[in-house]
């Protein structure tokens, strides 16, 4: 897991060949007025979704992992809390791996919680179990899906 300010995103471009393209798209986007929906930036390898949803209590959060995609998540409307736990220590799969939707859900509890503010981002690799959408009330955020190459 990586957490940082959007102003520092260039520090991470070397970690993946599509990170620069992902953040270039974000930099030109008026995030606050962007409508909900998804856009493919580089075919199926890079997709950006703007979502409007409701945050949930920490006790209701469910850890998830992905095998095919890295998640970059950016809160827009308000601070969002994320749970984290290393995939290597996750033991209680609830669903098994869903290859079509690239997700596996777990009953384990996070070992850490991190607050991510608007103007910041978090990157979750396939090794990161993560529980998004912790907080209160409605929110707007961006989720970038970057294919594992």
pLDDT digits (tens, 9 = 90+) for 38-67: 999 999 999 999 999 999 999 999 999 999
Determine the Cα–Cα distance for residues 62 and 45; give it in Å rounded to an integer.
25
Domain around 26: 2-147
Return d(Cα 141, Cα 52) in angstroms, integer. Answer: 7
Alpha helix ranges (H) inside the chain: 19-28
Please report which helix (H) or strand (E) contains residue 28, including its range: helix 19-28
pLDDT tens by residue, 15-42 = 999 999 999 999 999 999 999 999 999 9
Residue 19: CATH number of its domain: 2.60.120.370
Integer Cα distance of 37 and 135 in angstroms: 22
Residue 44: how many other CB atoms lie within 10 Å: 10
- Please give the structure tokens belonging to residue 15: 């970690």
Which of 130, 137, 91 is closest to 114 using CA atoms? 130
**Given this model, what pLDDT does residue 123 score?**
98
Cα 102-89-1 angle, rounded to 5 deg = 65
CB neighbour list of residue 99: distance below 8 Å, 6 or more residues apart: none
pLDDT tens readout for residues 97-119: 999 999 999 999 999 999 999 99
Average pLDDT over residues 72-91: 97
* Stretch 75-92: mean pLDDT: 97
pTM here?
0.96
Nearest to 60 by CA among 122, 144, 133, 128: 133
How many domains would you assign to the chain?
A: 1
C-alpha span between 47 and 70 (Å, rounded): 11
The confidence score (pLDDT) of residue 134 equals: 98
Under a CB-based contact definition with an 8 Å cutoff, are residues 117 and 73 in contact? no
């Amino acid at each position: 897991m990586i957490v940082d300010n959007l102003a520092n995103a260039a520090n991470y471009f070397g970690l993946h060949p599509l990170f620069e393209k992902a953040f270039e798209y974000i930099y030109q986007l008026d995030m606050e007025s962007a409508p909900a929906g998804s856009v493919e930036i580089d075919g199926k390898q890079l997709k950006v979704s703007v979502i409007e949803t409701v945050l949930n209590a920490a006790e209701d959060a469910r850890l998830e992992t992905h095998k095919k995609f890295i998640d970059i998540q950016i809160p827009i409307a308000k601070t969002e809390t994320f749970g984290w736990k290393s995939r290597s220590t996750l033991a209680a799969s609830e669903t098994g791996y869903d290859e079509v939707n690239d997700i596996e859900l777990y009953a384990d509890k996070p070992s850490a919680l991190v607050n991510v503010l608007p103007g910041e981002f978090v990157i979750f690799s396939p090794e990161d179990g993560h529980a998004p959408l912790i907080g209160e009330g409605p929110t707007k955020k961006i989720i970038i899906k970057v294919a594992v190459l």
